[in-house]
Amino acid sequence: MLADLKKRGLSSALLQQIAEAGIEGGGLETAGALLAASSSEIDSLNSLQS
């Protein structure tokens, strides 16, 4: 799932946060929601992190 998000262009900082959250911390749900996000939504999230 994280590899798919990386391919879609999600920033390494956000990928790290999702990985650190883990399954019990909401990382799985977050990753699932981000997989459904559009490219422009991912770009917006990336810009918020920089």
> Using CA of residue 37, residue 2, residue 4, residue 26, what is the dihedral sign?
negative
Q: What is the pLDDT of residue 49?
A: 85
The stretches in the chain having pLDDT less than 70 are: none
Residue ranges of domains in the chain: 2-49
**Burial environment of residue 12 by CB neighbours within 10 A (0 to 12, 13 to 18, 19 or more):** exposed
